[in-house]
């Protein structure tokens, strides 16, 4: 066991004790706030600096390497920016189909197109958008809490705690540091919620319309949003109409604003799911997936009853001690998503919302978001990336629990802060020192630079044979790292299965992602090989090869041939 495991036990017991003490103390004995508005502004700037440092430091090296979906998003953005087509040859698609079934949502791809036009390519630049969105998420979570707690005497303390908690949250730090489409969803969500809350406070029709448009933009961010956002908007609209917080006219205007922004995506769905003809022009494309995304992401309808309890259990584990069946790309063992020890206070907040019958607007907003996410979790194969929209609302319920604690005792509030700070220091140390060790199989360090070097040696003349050892879809990394011409790729690519849910290329151009049985055969004298450390035994004892090492992957070629 690591030190953090012992710390988790101790902190969890301590947090349970704090919750019990807060429940036993029936009266609100703490009557005085201790953070002024001026102090709150200064402290928030400091928190934002911490959030920025945790998301920007060593961005190109931690995580080290590139995950295949990152490479896919980066390459798609690169060729759209420079050639105006995606890797399937479509001009400016409404929704790039990437792997054939999607897997790379439009918003992050097109944001990267803009980034490439402004700053060029590179791993740091590819990851900069999620990092900046992560920092902005902390900002808008803080602003949203200030609006929702505006009549609470502990508004400053609770809003600052929310910003601090999100800034050091393992789940949010990790997702802000690499470029997957779902990783910008927390920002899209909290920005839309902030605008919606502001519209409610000001009773502004214009702000309702703008917030509705922001929710529509969420739909372009990630597949999970197509279920969570409509469920949330329908339920919150019903609540607002029943409680007369919004007029029929304001609701109608909001629906129109949503539909205008959502219209291109509706068109894409109509083409894909209702048989409308595809649209091909030089200016935009509305095309059809080559394969449906089913078993990899969704639970079969017939299996939902049998999977129901296990999926609900995965949700509960994920927001508490962590579900270690989820991929390491989204959490770090020992820390879970929201720290393993925070769940007693989080569940206290959720219980208090039920006890109060969700009378507070904040409880309604974040409660309905939890409900929408639970519905999603029942029908998908649970994983942190698919459940990405659930952690912001659960972060709120942690703050809701802390509202109860601070109202009973300022000292208990400070004790919780100390535990969080200790956990954050431990997480920061472990993440920046050891995360690359845990995530090697996901980010494939060294391979991208190796395949790039191999292409520098051969150009388009000689063959490049690549290992598959320890790799996922290495063809995608080859495309990204070499800035490969998309027209040559489209003309020469050979897919393992053209209609597979995730199309994987076995070869394109002079790249072949399968090693010959005997690479020392004279037929391969002029060719270049990218081998894993395990593959080096194929040339063991043969000193006629030059071997260039790239962090566990090696570029191998005949010394006198190149």
pLDDT in tens, 224-276: 999 999 999 999 999 999 999 999 999 999 999 999 999 999 999 999 999 99
pLDDT at 216: 98
pLDDT at residue 213 in the model: 98
Same domain, 41 and 172: yes
CA distance 400 to 420: 16
Q: 257, 212 in Cβ contact below 8 A?
A: yes
Q: Which of 438, 464, 490 is the last residue of a domain?
A: 438
Interval 533-547 mean pLDDT: 89
State whether 278 and 300 are in the same domain: yes
Distance CA 409, CA 391 (A): 27
Are 420 and 499 part of one and the same domain? no
Share of residues in the chain with pLDDT > 70 (%): 99
Residue finishing a domain among 438, 458, 473 = 438
230 CB-near residues (< 8 Å, 6+ apart):
none
Distance CA 357, CA 435 (A): 42
Q: Which helix (H) or strand (E) holds 472?
A: none
- Cis previous bond, 473, omega within 30: no
Task: In whole angstroms, give the CA distance from residue 177 to residue 180.
Answer: 10
Tokens of 459: 């150009």
Mean pLDDT confidence for 529-544: 91
Query: 466 with 511: CB under 8 angstroms?
Result: yes
Phi and psi for 464 in degrees, rounded to 5? -115, 120
> What is residue 179's predicted lDDT score, i.e. its pLDDT?
96
Give the pLDDT of residue 27. 77
For 436, the enclosing helix (H) or strand (E) is: helix 410-438
- Mean pLDDT, the chain, rounded, equals 94
Same domain, residue pair 270 and 360: yes
Nearest to 288 by CA among 539, 519, 50, 95: 95
Q: 314-337: buried (b, 16+ CB within 10 Å) or exposed (e) per residue?
A: bbebbbbbbbeebebbbbbebbbb
283 with 368, same domain? yes
> CA-CA distances (angstroms) from residue 377 to 225, 313, 329?
12, 10, 19
pLDDT at 30: 74
- Summarised one tens digit per residue, pLDDT across range 174-221 is 999 999 999 999 999 999 999 999 999 999 999 999 999 999 999 999
Phi, psi dihedral angles at 85 (to 5 degrees): -130, 160
Q: What is the pLDDT of residues 31-88, one digit of tens each?
A: 788 899 899 999 999 999 999 999 999 999 999 999 999 999 999 999 999 999 999 9
Helix 391-408 to helix 185-202 angle (10° resolution) is 60
In this predicted structure, what is the pLDDT of residue 296?
63
**Based on the domain organization, do 177 and 49 belong to the same domain?**
yes
Mean pLDDT of 461-488: 96
Are 530 and 538 a contacting pair, CB within 8 Å?
no
Domain, as residue range, for 550: 444-558
Please check whether residue 379 is in contact with residue 359, taking contact to mean a CB–CB distance below 8 angstroms: no
Local structure of residue 224 (DSSP, 8 states): T
- In this structure, are 428 and 493 located in the same domain? no
Cα–Cα nearest to 542, from 512, 511, 521: 521
Alpha-carbon distance of 352 to 399, in angstroms, equals 12
**Could you give phi then psi for residue 540, rounded to 5 degrees?**
-60, 130
What are the angstrom distances between the C-alpha of 34 and each of 22, 118, 411?
A: 19, 45, 11
Residues 52 and 12 in one domain: yes
At residue 280, what are phi and psi to the nearest 5 degrees? Answer: -125, 120
Can you read off the two tokens belonging to residue 40? 């709150």
Coil, helix or strand at residue 349? helix
Examine the pLDDT at 294 and tell me if it is beyond 70: no
Say how far apart CA 45 and CA 24 lie, in whole Å: 36
In this structure, are 331 and 268 located in the same domain? yes
Q: How confident is the model at residue 2 (pLDDT cuts 50, 70, 90)?
A: confident
The DSSP code for 444 is -
Q: 289 to each of 270, 368, 498, how far by Cα in Å? A: 12, 32, 12
Is residue 195 domain-shared with residue 124, that is, in the same domain? Answer: yes
**Residue 415 phi, psi dihedral angles, 5° rounding:** -60, -45
pLDDT at res. 383: 87
Residue with tokens 């779902």: 182
Is residue 19 within 8 A of residue 344, CB to CB? The reply is yes
How many folded domains does the chain comprise?
2
In this structure, the answer to whether residues 321 and 453 fall within a common structural domain is no
242 and 280 co-located in one domain: yes
Cα–Cα distance, 66 to 72 (Å, whole number): 10
Q: d(Cα 396, Cα 59) in Å, to the nearest integer?
A: 28
Q: Which of 416, 438, 460 is the last residue of a domain?
A: 438
pLDDT for residue 298 is more than 80? no
């Amino acid at each position: 066991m690591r030190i953090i495991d012992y710390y988790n036990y101790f902190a969890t017991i301590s947090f349970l004790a704090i919750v019990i003490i807060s429940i036993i103390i029936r009266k609100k004995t703490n009557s005085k706030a201790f953070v002024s508005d001026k102090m709150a502004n200064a402290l928030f700037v400091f928190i934002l600096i911490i959030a920025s440092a945790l998301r920007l430091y060593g961005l190109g090296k931690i995580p080290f390497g590139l995950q295949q979906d990152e490479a896919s998003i980066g390459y798609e953005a690169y060729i759209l920016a420079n050639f105006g087509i995606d890797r399937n040859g479509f001009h400016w698609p409404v929704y790039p189909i990437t792997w054939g079934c999607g897997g790379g949502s439009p918003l992050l791809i097109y944001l990267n197109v803009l980034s490439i036009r402004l700053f060029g390519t590179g791993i740091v630049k590819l990851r900069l958008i999620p990092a900046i969105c992560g920092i902005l998420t902390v900002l808008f979570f803080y602003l949203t809490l200030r609006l929702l707690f505006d009549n609470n005497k502990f508004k400053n303390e609770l809003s600052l705690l929310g910003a601090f908690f999100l800034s050091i949250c393992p789940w949010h730090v990790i997702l802000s540091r690499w470029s997957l489409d779902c990783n910008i969803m927390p920002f899209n969500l909290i920005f839309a919620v902030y605008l919606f809350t502001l519209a409610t406070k000001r009773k502004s029709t214009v702000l309702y319309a703008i917030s509705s448009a922001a929710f529509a933009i969420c739909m372009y961010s990630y597949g999970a949003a197509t279920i969570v956002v409509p469920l949330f908007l329908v339920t919150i609209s019903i609540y607002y109409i029943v409680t007369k917080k919004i007029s029929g006219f304001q609701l109608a205007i909001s629906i129109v604003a949503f539909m205008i922004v959502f219209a291109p995506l509706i068109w894409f769905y109509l083409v894909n799911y209702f048989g409308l003809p595809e649209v091909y022009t030089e200016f935009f494309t509305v095309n059809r997936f080559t394969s449906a995304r089913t078993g990899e992401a969704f639970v079969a309808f017939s299996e939902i009853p049998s999977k129901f309890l296990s999926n609900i259990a995965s949700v509960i584990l994920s927001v508490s001690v962590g579900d270690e069946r989820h991929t390491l790309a989204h959490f770090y063992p020992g820390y879970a998503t929201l720290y393993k020890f925070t769940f007693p206070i989080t569940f206290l907040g959720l219980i208090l919302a039920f006890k109060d019958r969700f009378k507070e607007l904040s409880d309604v907003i974040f409660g309905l978001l939890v409900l929408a996410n639970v519905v999603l979790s029942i029908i998908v194969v649970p994983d942190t990336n698919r459940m990405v929209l659930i952690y912001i609302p659960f972060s709120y319920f942690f703050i809701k629990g802390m509202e109860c604690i601070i109202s009973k005792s300022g000292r208990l509030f400070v004790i919780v802060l100390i535990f969080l700070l200790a956990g954050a220091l431990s997480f920061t140390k472990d993440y920046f020192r050891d995360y690359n060790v845990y995530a090697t199989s996901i980010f494939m360090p060294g391979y991208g630079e190796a395949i790039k070097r191999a292409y520098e040696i051969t150009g388009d003349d000689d063959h490049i044979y690549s290992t598959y050892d320890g790799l996922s879809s290495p063809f995608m990394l080859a495309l990204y790292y070499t800035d490969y011409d998309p027209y040559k790729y489209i003309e020469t690519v050979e897919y393992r299965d053209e209609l597979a849910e995730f199309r994987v290329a076995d070869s394109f151009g002079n790249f072949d992602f399968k090693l010959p049985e005997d690479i020392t055969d004279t037929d391969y004298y002029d060719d270049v090989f990218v081998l894993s450390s395990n593959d080096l035994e194929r040339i063991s004892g043969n000193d006629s090869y030059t071997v260039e090492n790239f962090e566990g992957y090696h570029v191998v070629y005949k010394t006198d041939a190149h």
